[in-house]
Each structure stands twice: as structure tokens, then as C-alpha cells.
Amino acid sequence: MQDGEGGSDTPGRSTSVITRTKPKTKKPSLYRVLLLNDDYTPMEFVIHILERFFQKDREAATRVMLHVHNHGVGECGVFTYEVAETKVTQVMDFSRQHQHPLQCVMEKK
């Protein structure tokens, strides 16, 4: 061996390990958006709401609407907090504009 090669006796040289800790990210909480049944909002209007704001096809929208009608409540979708809050506001505003008492709420899943 030549001087300065391969040994740990070389002055000024040291090895160290740099570790990076990954930040732990957690998935955002999810919220269910629910429609509540009432005796005044037409079924066709509820189907329109589901198609327009929740991108349901006619068959899926009809299925959800009938569930709301028969059970008093039905799930429109599951979203992050901000998206769920926006959907609820959109549905409530649209319903009021068309003079329907339809209620839309969100709950933590």
C-alpha cells in the first residue's frame, strides 16, 4: 500500500452517513355527501342534481334518488373535506334558486 491510500489513518478524511427522514403524510379525512328526503322536491329534480353535481348517469342517479325516497337519506359520493363542502353548497344554492327545500349535508366517514 502506498501512503494515504485505503487506510483510516489518513488525517482529514472521515466518513459519515447522512440520513434523510421522510415526512409522514397521512391521507386526508373523507366525508360522505348525503341527500335528505322531503315531501316537496320532485324526484326528477333530485335526479338532475345527481347528474349535474355528482356526475351520475341516469340509472345511478335514479337508484340513489329512490334510496333517498324510500330510506330518507342517500349517499351521493365520498370526497375530501373541501370538495364535499363545495358540493353541499352547490346543491343547496341550486335547490334554493329553484325554490326546492332539498337538504344536502356532509358527514365524516
Taking each helix axis as running N to C, give the angle between helix 43-54 and helix 58-71, from 0 to 180 degrees, rounded to the nearest 10.
130
Compute φ and ψ for 89, nearest 5 degrees. -60, -45
Round to whole Å and give the CA distance between 100 and 26.
39
- Residue 24 or residue 98, greater confidence: 98
CB burial of residue 64 (10 Å; 0-12, 13-18, 19+): buried
**Global pTM?**
0.78
- Residue 57 or residue 13, greater confidence: 57
Residue pair 81/28 in contact (Cβ under 8 Å)? The answer is yes
- Per-residue pLDDT tens over the stretch 6-56: 555 556 677 888 888 888 888 999 999 999 999 999 999 999 999 999 999
Domains and CATH numbers, the chain: 38-106 (3.30.1390.10)
Round to whole Å and give the CA distance between 64 and 67.
5
pLDDT at 11: 63
